[in-house]
Amino acid sequence: MATLIRKARVADSASILELVNALAKKEVMLPRSPASVIENLRDFIVIEEDGQFLGCAALHIVWSDHAEIRSIAVKDHAQGRGLGKQMAEFLITEAKSLGIARVIAFTYVPGFFERLKFERVEHASLPHKVFGDCLNCPKFHACDEIAMRLVLSDEAEIHLRGPLSVPLSALPSPRSAGAAL
């Protein structure tokens, strides 16, 4: 059987949501909303066999030196065949090619990530920026996921300069923005 890992397409979003949210009901991972899947679709890869969707995973850049593996999931009947590992390795290679120094994951299955040479770390040892999306998490006040980290290089954080947000007054008016198109 031919196994293929590829970037996700819009047509995969329903399969991704169905798989992740079915597993979330079993409380083995966090749920995703349709908006969070479709808005972040470019983070996602899928794994398929003979064209049949078997799993998904996402790599989300959280800061200049951190990317997070999220929503890694394999259909029940295909688990334990190395598909999860293949997807994680694909995303780790992608992180390397982007020049990202550290890959992290928050998980209930630390053993899976340990097989990939991740180590357990204290939540408090990670930079605050990696917790930005936690505000939207149903477990925000009682996070019980284990933080894991894989160090790919010693590259330090690249300090980005600029305002934290752009004041509305700095934006072009709709009329002048339209004129520029």
Q: Which residues are at the interface with ligand COA (CB under 6 A)? A: 23, 28-29, 72-74, 79-85, 105, 107-109, 111-112, 115
Largest pairwise CA distance in the chain: 57
* CA dist., res. 147 & res. 106, Å (int): 5
Residue 58 or 100 having the CB closest to ligand COA: 58
CB of 58 to ligand COA, least distance (A): 11
CB of 152 to ligand COA, least distance (A): 19
Residue 79 or 153 having the CB closest to ligand COA: 79
Query: 134 in helix, strand or coil?
Result: helix
Give me the residue whose beta carbon is nearest to ligand COA. Answer: 84
CB of 126 to ligand COA, least distance (A): 16
Residue 74 or 150 having the CB closest to ligand COA: 74
CB of 106 to ligand COA, least distance (A): 7
Query: 82 in helix, strand or coil?
Result: coil
Q: Which residues, in sequence order, are CB contacts of 33 under 8 Å at separation 6+? A: none
* CA dist., res. 2 & res. 104, Å (int): 30
Residue 81 or 129 having the CB closest to ligand COA: 81
Residue tagged 């990696």 (tokens): 130
* CA dist., res. 178 & res. 159, Å (int): 33
